[in-house]
Chain A
Amino acid sequence: MYDIVIIGAGITGTMLARDLSRYRLHVALIDKENDIADGATMANSAIVHVGYDPEDDTLKALLNVEGARMYEKICEDLGCHRKVTGAYVAACGEVEEKHLDILADRAERRGITYEWLSGDEARKEEENLSEQVTKVLSFPTTAVIYPWEVAIACAEVAVTNGVEIYLNTCCERITKEEDHFVIHTNNGDYETRYVINASGVGAEKVYRMVCDTPEFKITPRRGEYFVLDHQVHYVNHIIFPVPSAEKGKGVLAVPTVFGNTLLGPNSDYVDDPEDTGTSFEGLDYVRANLTKTMKNVPYRYVIRNFAGLRPSSSCPDFIIEEAKTVPGFINAASIESPGLASAPAVSQYIIQNILKKHLELTEKENVCLTREKPLAMADLTPEEKAEAIRKNPLYGKIICRCEQISEGEILDCIHRPCGAHTVKGVKKRVRPGMGRCQGGFCEPRVLNILARELNISPTEVVLDAKNAKILESENR
């Protein structure tokens, strides 16, 4: 019997798993996918919003501001990348400028640092800002992270402290017994006293397993993006248009942690919760709407397009509460933007405001909530690189030529707790295939390393999902 089973290994679920791992509790984290962070956490704008956007008196506002402030320490503790780029919200004309006043007022009251810039002042910092931009509200503390890196690091810490993680485990049915739940999955039954529903796009579906009349409805909302190679340096800050009620935060230009640029997203409701395909229409929308705030977009440097699904909800606020009719079943649902920025605070909110009422939270001895930063050659000086290679020559064997990732780094990420066992898992953790050739060069090499290290045939190595075979058959 588990004390707690968390359904969903995205940023919310993994953050909670890490925080719970310090207590004397029997915790499991289950996810239907083949890796940590394969849903909304994998495909989004990767921004730690500072919290000026949510309406007053909402959980969103409270947890966003709090969560954003926690990230600096979390990334330090977990050895994760984080870059403070600052954000510009760019207004075009008087009507939009008025809207900036509302954001500035919220920022003022919430203690968020902001600055005003004229259009021309902003263009001095951002040469590709469109001429139509008349005024900019700048939030210099806004940061970007690698969301899945943080989620994976949290999962790693959780596992090290005794949390059990089960992937490819899809919740099919939940039965409520007198004092516990049974979660029936394709991978066996899990008995638990408490269930945390952190299943993102699937949150309504999971909730319906215990409640016929859910108070929220989740509709997947697709966002499509372009990725530019880091050979072109397009923006310094995250550039937002003025947000609107219908279109959310709009089409952005985002500098990533490793120097790429994200352009997007659009916002498109879809029926299929698995539909992460891109479309001509969606990508055209991004191109058309980006011209409002940006110019000289170097589309010739596009190396990829992708789409992610956000769990858009009928309820405008986060729903983080014990289900009214199902004691012991706790929803962490309706978590769309700013879910990433809020996640650390969401986790604390669940523990302090909900779980503490039911469970005795006593700290374990010898827990370690931090993770040593995995060695990343790209982050090192030439002297440090030389030293690293002296200690382990495989750090000198480059496998990904675009991003200059070594075999040593790939082996490290395979053999860590919650290690990579798929080609995309390696890509998520140490980035081979993220560059201009998109794995054309390194994928066969990564595949062979995975087969060797996992002691499986190359034909058994998958791209991401467990049936996503890359090789069909041997040909000798």
Chain B
Amino acid sequence: MKKYQAVIIGGGSAGLSAAVTLKNQGIENILVIEKDGEPGGILQQCIHNGFGLQTFKEQLSGPSYAERYIEQAEDLHVDILCNTMVIKLNPDKTIEYVNAEEGYVTILADAVILAVGCYERSRGAVEIPGERPAGIYTAGQAQRYLNIDGYMVGKKVFILGSGDIGLIMARRMTLEGAKVYGVAELMPYSNGLPRNIKQCLEDFDIPLYLSHTVTKIFGHDRLERIEVSQVDEHLKPVPGSQMYFDVDTLLLSVGLIPENHLADEAGILMNPRTKGPIVDDNYMTSVPGIFACGNGLHVHDLVDFVSMEAARSAAGAVRYLNNTLKEDHKYEVFAGDGVNYVVPGLVSASCDHNVEFFFRVRQNFEQAEIVMKSGDKVLRKLKKRKLMPSVMEQMVLTTKMIQELEGDITITVTEVSDGK
């Protein structure tokens, strides 16, 4: 059985960054396993600009952003095994994979980094009643057809969900000659980044219907028509509010879900909110030596954050491989009022580096107060304007604070505007 110091599952933005970090920190014997024919992951079909502002201080397209990391990986002689699917990850850190050249192979890793990405929530998962004709796609699927394969999926388009890929596709398809009739969002706020609402919808006069959803699909062979209804505060359709659009295409941008089945089968504990593994300050999961990062851990809004998180995860793996991780009590990190989730979910009492928490709020806040507490002790408190679920927030726990922790950590967000 071949042995590696570290195996990274997934050669997208997270996996490449993790690989580069490992090599730079002196871990030589590593392998990246990628299911597609080339590394880069979903970036390869994201041909629009806007990637890399944080990392490279310039606006890059998805493929160019990927290329920066692929070049670094090549310079560092990272082994990337493409067209290879991991079938099973075992708790003993053996990995079973399959490809055309080698067949069915089992390898052993001292450390494993899960950089597996996410998948798009489908029509079935969001329960849109009606018929099941052709013409209904997830936004990413339509993006692949257009940007990789070179085909338009339709000319009269409606989009359900205001996720970023849907917004990007609204602009892309409009520019390619399609008519986009509107975007319906179930929630009373958008799920996409504000800049995408502006640049992809407002600039093209595409209406955004907040608190609306698609309530019926018509068409036997190909989609012919959709029914869109307003929803009440319980997200139930309001009778009499129906609108009809005669469209041949419905794109779904209704959420991304971490691809968690390998972790689940390995017995790794999951966070039901993020649907990814629970990790500690080293991005280590509940199975020692298995780490997680990127959209397979929780869904990010910017690829830059994915790359940075993967680097932190790789740094955690390096500590593990160098035997510098101490067994110690771990404090839990809770999402309190107003917060949907916090990553990482555990902090070791002996953690000797700053821990950056990433979290998302549950609803829009005009003027929010963010409080981080340990037991009853307030560690940090700050005011911030305009918080929204689509934008990931950050808060740092310093090494000094860690030394003074009195119990589990909770982050809460409350509205403090006085109505002015």
B-contact 0/1 string along A280-294, CB 8 Å cutoff: 101100000000000
**A283: B residues at CB distance < 8 A:** 127, 129
Asked if residues B103 and A396 are in contact (CB atoms below 8 Å), the reply is yes
Alpha-carbon distance A377/B87, docked complex (angstroms): 11
Residue of B nearest to A394 (CB): B100
Known: A401-B35, A472-B155. A280 touches B133 (CB 8 A): no
Q: Are B153 and A389 in contact, CB atoms less than 8 angstroms apart?
A: no
Indicate with 1 or 0, residue by residue over B119-135, a CB within 8 angstroms of chain A CB atoms: 11011110101111111
> In the complex, A47→B330 CA distance in Å?
49
Q: Contact: B104 with A389, CB < 8 Å?
A: yes
- What are 19 pairs between A and B in contact, CB < 8 Å? A231-B261, A276-B131, A276-B132, A303-B125, A382-B106, A383-B104, A397-B83, A401-B35, A401-B85, A404-B87, A438-B122, A438-B124, A438-B125, A440-B120, A448-B149, A470-B134, A470-B135, A472-B153, A475-B152
| Bound complex: CA A214 to CA B127 (Å) | 39
Question: Are B103 and A386 closer than 8 Å at their CB atoms?
Answer: yes
B101 on the A face (CB < 8 A): yes
Q: Is the CB of B222 within 8 A of A469?
A: yes
Majority secondary structure, B binding face: mixed
- Given the complex, which residues of A lie within 8 Å of B132, measured CB to CB? 276-277, 306
Stretch at the interface among B138-146, B188-196, B306-314: B138-146
* CB within 8 Å of A: which B92-111 residues: 96, 98-106
Is A385 a contact of B104 with CB atoms below 8 Å?
yes
| Given A398-B85, A441-B119: A458 touches B134 (CB 8 Å cut-off) | no
The interface stretch among B14-22, B59-67, B213-221 is B213-221
A35 at the B interface (CB under 8 A): no
B98 touches A468 (CB 8 A): no
A458 to B153, CA, bound (A): 11
In the complex, B38 has a CB within 8 A of chain A = no
Q: Does B288 contact A (CB under 8 A)?
A: no
Whether A473 lies near B221 (C-beta < 8 A) is no
> Which residues of B in the span 148-162 have a Cβ within 8 Å of any Cβ on A?
148-155
In addition to A280-B129, A303-B122, A396-B102, 10 A-B residue pairs with Cβ atoms within 8 Å of each other are A304-B122, A304-B123, A377-B98, A385-B98, A389-B104, A398-B35, A398-B98, A406-B98, A465-B220, A470-B134
Docked Cα-Cα span, A226 to B231, in Å, equals: 23
Q: Which of A306, A396, A475 interacts with B101 by CB under 8 Å? A: A396
Q: Given A278-B130, A474-B150, are A302 and B125 neighbors across the interface (CB < 8 Å)? A: yes
Q: Which A residues touch B145, using CB under 8 A? A: 444, 471
Contact of B124 among A303, A404, A471 (CB under 8 A): A303
The answer for the CA separation of A265 and B87 in the assembled complex, in Å, is 34
- CB-defined interface of B48-87 with A at 8 Å, one 1/0 digit per residue? 0000000000000000000000000000000000010101
A459 to B132, CA, bound (A): 19
Interface residues of chain B, those whose CB is within 8 Å of chain A, are 35, 83, 85, 87, 96, 98-106, 119-120, 122-125, 127, 129-135, 138, 140-141, 144-146, 148-155, 176, 215-217, 220-222, 237, 248-249, 257, 259, 261, 264
CA distance A38 to B55 in the complex (A): 52
B251 to chain A, nearest CB (A): 12
Q: Is the CB of A396 within 8 A of B152?
A: no
Write the A460-472 contact mask toward B (1 if CB under 8 angstroms, else 0).
Answer: 0011111111111
Residues of B contacting A191 in the complex (Cβ-Cβ under 8 angstroms): none
Q: How far is the CA of A231 from the CA of B151 in the complex (A)?
A: 33
**What residues of chain B lie closer than 8 Å to A440, measured between beta carbons?**
119-120, 122, 138, 140-141
What is the bound-complex CA distance between A276 and B222, given in angstroms? 14
Instruction: Choose among B103, B106, B125 the residue that contacts A390 (Cβ–Cβ < 8 A).
Output: B103
User: In the complex the two chains form, what is the Cα distance from A385 to B106 in whole Å?
Assistant: 12
Q: Mark A398-428, 1 if CB is under 8 A from B, else 0.
A: 1001101010000000000000000000000
Is A453 an interface residue when CB atoms closer than 8 A count as contact? no
Alpha-carbon distance between A452 and B77 when the two chains are bound, in angstroms: 35
Q: Which residues of B contact A280 (CB under 8 A)?
A: 129, 215, 237
CB neighbours of B144 from chain A (8 A): 444
Q: Does A98 contact B (CB under 8 A)?
A: no
Q: How far is the CB of A304 from chain B (nearest CB, A)?
A: 3
Residues of chain A lying within 8 A (CB to CB) of residue B215: 280
- Cβ-defined contact, B96 with A305, below 8 A: no
How many Å lie between the Cα of A209 and that of B198 in the bound state?
60
* Chain B residues with CB below 8 A from A393, complex form: 100-101
User: With contacts A471-B145, A475-B176 known, is A397 near B152, CB below 8 A?
Assistant: no
Is A279 interfacial (CB-CB < 8 Å)? yes
How far in angstroms is the closest Cβ of chain A from B194? 26
Contact status A465-B221, CB under 8 Å: yes
User: In the complex the two chains form, what is the Cα distance from A275 to B133 in whole Å?
Assistant: 12
Known contacts: A443-B141, A473-B151, A474-B150. The answer to whether A277 contacts B99 by CB under 8 A is no
Q: How far is the CA of A227 from the CA of B124 in the complex (A)?
A: 8
Contacts of B134 in A (CB 8 A): 462-464, 468-470
Distance in angstroms between the alpha carbons of A359 and B220 in the assembled complex: 41
